Amino acid sequence: MSWLERLYRVIGWTEDIDTPEGRKRLQESIEKMGKVINHPSIQELILGKDKITIIDVCSGKGIGFIALAKAILQKHDVRIEIIAVDLRQSALEKAEKYAEEELGIKIKTYVHDVARLWELGVSADIGLLYGFSTPHFNPYDMVRLAAGMASILGSKGAFLVEEADRIYSTCQRTGYKDVIPDYVDENKVVLSIEAGREPLKGINRRLIIDLISGNRVMSEFRLWDIAGTASILWCFFRHVDFIRYRHPYSGLLIAWEPRGLGPRHYAENPEIISGQSS
């Protein structure tokens, strides 16, 4: 079992759309995507096409791509193809099931490191990173993800990234805490405990543990903010915009028109983290 499988098993993130909580999240996501597809870059991308291919990275069980596909189909008569990429085989199996139930289509799935997308040899019109997943990526892997996504999108392709200003919400508004109760009820008590900082990788380590079951996993995460993620996207796309949610510190970044930079230039780690520097 991968560390990511173990992490999601411990934290119990809302992903199953056959639960009331998951169904609510799906409906909210469709509303958000309805605003996104009205953006001029997305309108230009869709108009005149009879097929749109979406690649959803860190797709989980598919709430993001299902919501985006439904929003597109509400306004456009196009055929939708889906490519879902995740490290969790169990999540992709659910994504396949939900895609058939909600969209009536079969999807392509890959268990693969999304920081090395170019290895898949696929192409798409729209890329999607949904579910506030950027904390899974250190800055070097975020560069690889952006480069890889830009390489598989067409000349007018767009990459949608859900993002929040965690510098404000975590450091300024609430303050960084060594111990956080992530979830508490009679049957599950999940704590997140600080386990150290790696300054050259730009990440923190936290132990995620369920005190009732004893299940635990060591996790790395990065406190990204909107501008930080946008600036990396801007290196690989000519345009970057932002659609705010109701809360001004979260929303969806839209990056479009890839610059054509080759992702293989970023395949290896720089010396600062590869162990080659003195």
Q: 265 is written with which tokens?
A: 């230039």
- Beta carbons of 166 and 151 less than 8 angstroms apart: no
Q: Do 113 and 211 fall within a single domain?
A: no
**Domain range enclosing 190:** 171-220
pLDDT tens for the chain, 278 residues: list them: 677 778 888 887 788 999 999 999 999 999 999 999 999 999 999 998 999 999 999 999 999 999 999 999 999 999 999 999 999 999 999 999 999 999 999 999 999 999 999 999 999 999 999 999 999 999 999 999 999 999 999 898 999 999 999 988 888 888 888 999 988 988 899 999 999 999 999 999 999 999 999 999 999 999 999 999 999 999 999 999 999 998 889 999 999 999 998 898 898 999 998 875 44
pTM value > 0.85: yes
Query: Quick one: 36 exposed, middle or buried, by C-beta within 10 A (0-12, 13-18, 19+)?
Result: buried
In the chain the first and final C-alpha atoms are separated, in Å, by: 35
Q: 67 is written with which tokens?
A: 């919501």
Amino acid at 51: K
Q: Do 213 and 80 fall within a single domain?
A: no
Report how many domains make up the chain. 2
- Beta carbons of 128 and 55 less than 8 angstroms apart: yes
pLDDT of residue 123: 97
Q: Do 39 and 163 fall within a single domain?
A: yes
- Beta carbons of 149 and 159 less than 8 angstroms apart: yes
Neighbours of 209 (CB within 10 A): 19
Q: Is residue 72 part of a domain?
A: yes
Q: Do 118 and 160 fall within a single domain?
A: yes
Q: Model confidence over 183-193: pLDDT tens digits?
A: 898 889 999 99
